[in-house]
Amino acid sequence: MSPGDTLFGRLLNRPPGTPEATNLPLVPGVGLQVYLDSEGHVEHLGGPVRHALLRLTARSVTHLTDYLLPHSGLVVEGRPQDWQGQTLDLDFFSQAGPPLHLRGWVQPQGDGWLLHLLDIGDLLGERRQARSREQCQWLAGQIREQLRLCSFTRLAQVLGEQLQRVSQYLHIPCLALAVLDDQEQGWQIHQHYCAPGAPQLWSPAQGLGTALDSLNSAAPQALQASVQPRLSSVFGPNPGFAVPYCDAQGVAAWLLCADYDAGQQAPDLGDRDWLALATAIAAPLLESLREHRHQQQLERLEALQALLGTGWWEVFDSAEVQLARSLADSLGLPATRLSLQDWFARVHPADRDELRSQLQALQDEGTPLELCVRLQPCEQAQLLWYRVQGQALGIGAGRRLVGFMLDISDIKNQQQQAAAAHARLDNLIASSPAVIYVQRYVEGALQPTFFSASLQPLLGWSLADCSDGALVEHVHPDDRAVYFQRTRQLLREGTVSTRYRVLDRQGHAHWLLDEAKLLRDDLGLPVEAVGLWLDITEATLAAEQVRASEERYRILVEDSPAMICRYRPDLTLIFGNRPLATYLECAPEQLPGVNLGSWMSDEQRAAFTQRLAQLTPQVPVSTAEVNLRLPGREHAWWVWSDRGVFDEQGRLLEVQAVGRDNTEVRRSQQQLTQSAKMATLGEMATGLAHEINQPLNVMRMAIVNVLKRLGNGDVQVDYLTDKLNRIDAQVQRAARVVDHMRVFGRRSEIEQHPFNPLEAIDGTLSLLSEGLRGKGVELRLKESDLQVQVRGYVDQLEQVLINLMVNARDALLSKREADRDFQPWIAVSAESDEHVVRLWVEDNGGGIDQRLLERIFEPFFTTKPVGVGTGLGLSVSYGIVENMGGRLSVRNGDEGARFCIELPLAVVD
C-alpha cells in the first residue's frame, strides 16, 4: 500500500488493512453514521444529521427499519453483510415532518457494521423540480400550439379544453382566465373551468371590476390572494392566487387559480413556470382576439364607407389621386387611381376652381382643406354633394396629402327642403290668423319681446306698439280681468289656454285663443313665455249663432205638434218632446230609459227592429206606419219617420224620429174598406141568392119525391137514405156560403198576419163561382200549388179579388147583351218568384179605353151608369194592396183587361 493510499484511507476514516474490495470512502463528521450489529440493530448514531431524525422511545434494542419509512424497509431486508457493495437510498422519519432522503453504503466496522449516509434531499428536489419544470414547459408549449392553430370559431371550445387540461395536470379545482372588457375599463371572466365537486365561483363574461389592477405594480410575480384582501370579490372566501400576463401595453390578462395552495400542491414550480403557463394560455388567445377585432373593424369600416358613400383619398406628386375602393365604386370609377385632371372633371364647374385652389394651398402651405362640392358620378347621373376634407402629413419631401370624402347629398337635400319649408311656414304664419309671440319675464311681469310678422296684417300693431305695458291697453276693457288671470295662471302653472278680445288699430274687437307655455331655467325661475294667438272671431260668432239656433230648435221641438224623439237601436228612448209624453200619458223627464217596443206586439216589434237594421249611411231614412197598444186606447196608428245616426265605421248609434198620430185616418180607411165590403156584398146579393136557392130547390125536389113515394105506400130504406144524404149535402153547401158571407162581412183584424194567397182565391170562388156559371160566364182557373205566404189580411185580399171579378162580370154581361154569340170568360191564376207573388185576373171583354186607364183607380171614378156603381171598388182595392206593401196594376191584354196583384213574400221564422 502506497503512502497516498494510506492518506486517502485515513481521509475516508478507513483503518489500515481494510479490504480494498469495499472501495467506499468514509467522511467522518458528515451526514449520518449508523453503527449496526451483525443483525442490523442500531448501536450508535453519529453525524450532524442524527439530530433531525425522529426520536424513538427508549427501548433496549432498536432495529434500523424502525427509523425508516415502510418502503425503505424493503431495501435493507436481511443482514448488513448482504448490503455490501450496494448504494442504499433510504428515507428516514424526521422531526420536522417531511422525510429525510439519505444515500450511503455499509462497511465492516470491528464486530459490527458502519452505515454511512449523506443527505441527498436537495439533489432529489432539484431533479424533481427540473422534471416538473420540463413537464410544465412541455404542457405550455402544447397549449400554445393548440390555441395558435385553432380557428376563431373553435377558440372558446379549445380554450375550455386547455383550462381543463391544466386543472387536471396541476389539480387546480377552479381555474379562469380574466381579460379586459370591450371598453377596457375593467376585468371580466373570458373562460373558466371548475372541476367536478368544486364550487362555481365564476360565470362567463362575469365582471370583476378593477380589483386585479392593484396587482399590476407587482407583476410579473404571482401574488397570493390571501395577502390581498381587495381580491376577495374575485376568489371569495377561498384561497388562491393570480398570475399576470404582460405584453407591450402592460398587464393584458390574469390566470386565476382558486381554492389552491401552490406552495404545497406544486412546490416544484416557480414564478417563471407560472408566468410561462399564463403566457402560453393568454398570448395566443389575445392575439386571436385582437386579430378578430381588427378584422371586424376593417369590415365595419368597409361597410360604413359603403353605407355613407365615403372613403379616403390621397394625392401623389405624380399629379394622381388614389381613392378608396368604396369611394371609387360610389362614383362609378373603373379604377381607384386616376389623374387629378380626371378627378376635377367630375367636379361641378361652379366648385372646381375653389377645390383646385384649396388643394394647392394644402400642398404649398399645409392649410387644412374643408369644402362642400358637387360631383357627377357619370354623364346621366344626378349630381351628388360631397364634403371634402384633407390635411398634410409630414414635412418636406415626405409630405403626404390625405383626406376623406363624405356623401352629404341627403343632408343638403334636407337643408334645401327645410329652407323651403321654413319659407313656406313664414309665409303661412304671415298670412294666417295666427300670431307667435315671446314674452320675457322681467321683475315679476311678462314683457313682449317678439311677435311674428302676422301681427301686423291681423291687428295692425307692431312690437313697439305693445311694449312697456301697452299690450294691456289693446285688450278689450271687459276682458282685461281675464288677461290678468291668464298671466297669473301662466306664472303659477306653467301653461295656459284662454280666450279674450283684443282691439285692432281700427278699434274692432277680435276674439283670440291664447295658448302659452312658460320656460324656466335650471333653478326653476321663470325666463320667458312662448305662446300663440289664434284668431277665433268667426268661430266664436258661429258658436253663438249655433247656440241661438239650438235654442230655437229646442223651442221648435218642444212646441211642435209632432212627436219627436231619439232612441238607441234597441228602442230605448234617449229623448222625447212634450207631445210624445202627453200622448203616452207621462212626463217628458220620464221618457229617457223607456223602451219604445213595450207598446208594440211581438210581430210589430220584430218588423220595427228589422226596418231599423236596414238603415245605412247611404239610405239613412225610413218611413212606416206602426201600430201600438197604448194605455187607455185599444189601438193607435202612427206614421213614423226614422233617421239613423252612424259612426265612422257605419255602425248605427241612435235614431232620430218624427211621428204623427194616424189613428183617425186609419179608422176612416177601415170604415171605408168595410163600407166597400158591404157594398160588394150588396152587389153580390143576386149571385148569393142564387147560391142559396140552388140547394133549396134541390132539397124541395127531394122532399116532393119522398112524399110522393110515401103517398103511394112505396117505402124503400135505401131510397130514403139517398134522399136524406142529398138534402144534408145541400144544407152544408148553403151553410158554407152563409158562413163565408159572415166571415167576409165582419171587420178585418187589427194586425196583419202571414197567409197563403191561394186561400183568398178559394174564398172568392166559393162566393162567386156558382153565380158566374149561372149567368153563363166561364170561369177558367189555372191549377197552382204555391207554398208561399204574404203578410196582410186574407179577407181584404178576397175583397180585392171579388171587386175585380165582379167588375169583369158586369163588363162581360154588358158586352153579351150587344152580341148574343159572345162567349164570356174570366181567368184567375197565380205565380211567384224569389221576392213576390202575382195574382192575375183577366177577361175577354175587349179591355179598357186607354184614356181611362190612368184614372181607373181614382176614388168615385166609375164607368157604370148612375146609381149602379159607387166608384170606390178599385180605389179601395188599390189602397188595400198598397197597405199590404204591394202594388195593383192593369193593362190591356190580347182579348181584354188584365189586372195584376203583386205582393211581397213574407219572411216567416
| 642 pLDDT more than 50 | yes
User: Which of 735-739, 772-776, 801-805 has the least mean pLDDT?
Assistant: 735-739
pLDDT-based confidence at residue 496 (cuts at 50, 70, 90): very high
Is the model's pLDDT at 870 over the cut of 70? no
pLDDT of 297: 81
Residue 503 has pLDDT above 60, yes or no: yes
SS (H, E, C) 684-699: CHHHHHHHHHHHHHHH
pLDDT tens, position by position, 17-76: 333 333 444 455 678 888 888 888 888 888 888 877 877 765 556 888 888 888 776 778
In DSSP notation, 534-562 reads: EE-HHHHHHHHHHHHHHHHHHHHHHH-SS
The whole-angstrom separation of Cα 160 and Cα 153 is: 13
For 35-52, b/e burial (b = at least 16 CB within 10 A) is bbeeebbbeebebebeee
Q: Is the pLDDT of residue 95 over 60?
A: yes
Give SS3 for 379: coil
Which one-letter DSSP state was computed for residue 58?
Answer: P
Question: Does residue 857 sit in helix, strand or coil?
Answer: coil
How many Å apart are CA 337 and CA 334, to the nearest integer? 9
CB contact at 8 A, 874 and 843: no
The predicted structure's pLDDT at residue 4: 36
Taking residues 553-566, report their average pLDDT: 75
Whether residue 698 has pLDDT greater than 90: no
Contact 116, 84 (CB under 8 A): no
pLDDT attached to residue 650: 86
Residue 174, strand partner residues:
194, 258
pLDDT of residue 610 exceeding 80, the answer is yes
Q: How high is the pLDDT of residue 457?
A: 85
pLDDT exceeds cutoff 60 at 865: no
Domains and CATH numbers, the chain: 3-119 (3.30.450), 126-289 (3.30.450.40), 327-431 (3.30.450.20), 432-535 (3.30.450.20), 560-661 (3.30.450.20), 669-904 (3.30.565.10)
Contact yes or no for 399/491 (Cβ under 8 A): no
For the cut 90, the answer to whether the pLDDT of residue 497 exceeds it is yes
| Most confident residue range from 264-268, 322-326, 639-643, 842-846 | 842-846
DSSP assignment of 301-312 equals: HHHHHHHHT-EE
- Give CA–CA dist 631/635, Å, rounded: 9
Helix (H, G, I), strand (E, B) or coil at 730: helix
User: What is the average per-residue pLDDT within 309-336?
Assistant: 81
Instruction: Please name the helix (run of DSSP H) or strand (run of DSSP E) that holds residue 426, with its range, or none.
Output: helix 409-431
Report, in angstroms and rounded to the nearest whole number, the Rg of the chain calculated over CA atoms. 63
Q: How far apart are CA 752 and CA 253, in angstroms?
A: 99
Q: Please report the pLDDT score of residue 501 as a whole number.
A: 92
Residue 489, phi then psi, degrees to nearest 5: -65, -40
What pLDDT shows up at residue 222?
Answer: 44
Could you tell me if 402 and 418 are in contact, meaning their C-beta atoms sit under 8 angstroms apart? no
- Residue 485: the pLDDT is 93
Q: Is the pLDDT of residue 542 over 70?
A: yes
Using a pLDDT cut of 70, give the percent of the chain over it.
78
pLDDT in tens, 360-404: 888 888 889 899 998 887 766 678 888 898 888 877 667 788 888
Q: Return the DSSP state at 595.
A: B
Question: What's the grid cell of residue 331?
Answer: 362614383
How many helices and strands (H and E) does the chain possess? 25, 35
pLDDT in tens, 327-365: 888 777 888 888 888 888 888 889 989 988 998 888 888
**DSSP-derived secondary structure letter, 57:** P
Instruction: Inform me whether the pLDDT recorded for 868 exceeds 70.
Output: no
Return the closest-CA partner of residue 606 out of 836, 834, 791.
791
Q: Which of 171-185, 489-503, 827-841 is predicted least confidently?
A: 171-185
What sign results for the dihedral spanned by CA atoms 483, 487, 489, 493? positive
Grid coordinates 162580370 are at which residue?
Answer: 809
Task: Between 715 and 15, name the one with better pLDDT.
Answer: 715
Say whether pLDDT at 723 is over 90.
Answer: no
Angle at 425 between CA 424 and CA 426, to 5 degrees: 90
Q: Distance of CA 86 to CAs 47, 76, 101, Å?
A: 21, 10, 16
Could you read off the pLDDT of 665-696 as tens digits, one per residue?
666 665 655 555 555 555 555 555 555 656 66
The pTM for the full model equals 0.37
Residue 551 C-alpha cell reads as 235654442
In percent, the amount of the chain with pLDDT more than 90 equals 8
214 versus 736: which is more confidently predicted? 214
* Measured distance CA(445)–CA(447) in Å, rounded: 6
Instruction: Specify the pLDDT at position 902.
Output: 92
Question: How many residues comprise the chain?
Answer: 909
Tell me what pLDDT residue 218 has: 45
Give the phi and the psi of residue 527 in degrees, each rounded to 5: -115, -55
C-alpha cell at 535: 284668431
The mean predicted confidence, pLDDT, of the chain is 78
- Grid coordinates representing 610 are 228589422
Burial group, residue 365, by CB count within 10 angstroms (0-12, 13-18, 19+): exposed
Strand segments, DSSP code E, in 398-525 are 400-407, 434-442, 445-451, 495-503, 509-520
